[in-house]
Every structure is written in C-alpha cells, then in structure tokens.
Amino acid sequence: MEELSTKDKELIRDSWESLGKNKVPHGVVMFSRLFELDPALLNLFHYGTNCDSTQDRLASPEFLEHVTKVMLVIDAAVSHLDDLHSLEDFLLNLGKKHQAVGVRTQSFAAVGESLLYMLQCSLGPAYTAPLRQAWLNMYSIVVAMMSRGYAENGEGKAD
Ligand code: HEM
C-alpha cells in the first residue's frame, strides 16, 4: 500500500480540522457536485419518487444520513492516516455494499472530483496544489481498498 508523506498527513489533518466540527454541510456540497457531474447516481438512492425534483431529493433525511456516513468515513480515514491499513476490512466491506447497491467503481473518479471541489470551495486560498495532491493520495488508497471488495465479490477485477 502507498504511504502518505508526513507533509501529506499534516496538510490533510489541518485542512480537515479547519472545515469545523459539523462536516455535513461540506458533504452536501460534495454530493450536490457529484449529482451535477453524474445525475444518474441519484437514482441509486431510493429517496422519494422519481417525480421529486433533485432539490427535494437532496433535502431528504436519507440523503443527509448518507452524507453524514460519508463524512464519518472520511473522518475515520483522517484519524488513521498513520495506519490506514487498519481500515482495510471496513473499506473492503464498504466496497462490497456499494457494489450491491449498484455503484460502479468508475464512479469513484467523480466522487474524488467532488471531494476536491468541496475542499476548494471550503478552503479558498488554503486549497493549494500540494494540498490537492495530498487528498488525492489519501483518496486513492481508500478507493483501492473499497475496490478490493468489488474484486472479492467474485466479479474478477474491479470494473
Ligand atoms: C457514487 C457515490 C455513492 C453512492 C451512489 C452511494 C450510495 C449508497 C447507497 C445507495 C447506500 C445504501 C443506503 C444508505 O445507507 O444510504 C450507501 C451506504 C453507505 N455509503 Fe455510500 N454511496 C456513494 C459513495 C460513498 C462514499 C464515497 C462513502 C464513504 C467514503 C460512502 C459511505 C457509505 C456508508 C458508510 C454506507 C452505509 C453502509 C452500511 O449500511 O453499512 N458512500 N451508499
């Protein structure tokens, strides 16, 4: 597994902390961006009905619950930067669950882009090239572990 540099870890920890205690609003920015990039992903969540507007669906408790879960996973990753390996089983299972609900590994690229978009919006001038790279490095480790769950589900190499 790739290792994060000391500088990467410092950039990630400091920037995550600077977002404040309540990460949910940042998660809403991230997922709103994701659904702009790939509106079809919204249909994987069975929020409301297909007739509801995207705005209604984004305001639903289920959406906020998922956003909260995502932020908690990122929080766990940031808290375990020295030992991301310890999250391997959890992330592998998370990958399996996402495969089961129809998320394809190709969508992880748009998720990463949305994460960076949220960081850029929230951090303003503190969003620098090394900081962007540090987050990408961490994200690629998380994605690699989640993708292993897809491969383990008997579908061969993650798609
Ligand atoms: C393409 C983007 C994603 C889609 C479409 C998606 C979709 C879903 C769906 C449909 C569920 C089941 C219903 C629910 O619990 O709300 C779920 C559960 C979950 N998702 Fe995601 N998800 C995405 C990305 C992520 C990411 C990036 C993370 C964290 C890094 C994450 C963390 C979770 C967690 C922790 C659960 C609960 C799993 C459990 O029940 O044990 N999701 N996701």
The C-alpha atoms of residue 94 and residue 20 are separated, in whole angstroms, by: 26
Residue that wins the pLDDT comparison between 60 and 79: 79
69 Cβ below 6 A of ligand 1? yes
Ligand 1 neighbour 96 (Cβ under 6 A) = no
> How close is the Cα of 150 to the center of ligand 1, in Å?
14
pLDDT at 145: 96
pLDDT at 155 over 60: no
What does the pLDDT look like over 35-63, one tens digit per residue?
Answer: 999 999 988 887 666 677 777 777 888 88
Answer yes or no: are the C-beta atoms of 133 and 121 closer than 8 Å: no
Residue (of 138, 128, 117, 127) closest to 26 by Cα position: 117
Model confidence at 107, in pLDDT bands (50, 70, 90)?
very high
Cα of 66 vs centre of ligand 1, distance in Å, is 6
Taken in order of first residue, the domains within the chain and their CATH numbers are 6-154 (1.10.490.10)
When the pLDDT of each residue in the chain is averaged and rounded to a whole number, the result is 91
Query: Please, where are the H alpha helices in the chain?
Result: 6-18, 24-37, 54-58, 61-79, 88-100, 107-123, 129-150
CA-nearest residue for atom 35, ligand 1, is: 69
Is the pTM of the predicted complex or chain greater than 0.85? yes
Tell me what percent of the residues of the chain surpass a pLDDT of 90.
79
Q: Which residues make Cβ contacts (< 8 Å) with residue 104, sequence separation at least 6? A: 159
**pLDDT at residue 157 tops 70:** no
Spell out the SS3 assignment of 52-87: CCHHHHHCCHHHHHHHHHHHHHHHHHHHCHHHHHHH
pLDDT confidence tier of residue 154, bands split at 50, 70 and 90: low
| Average of per-residue pLDDT across 2-17 | 95
pLDDT at position 34 over 70: yes
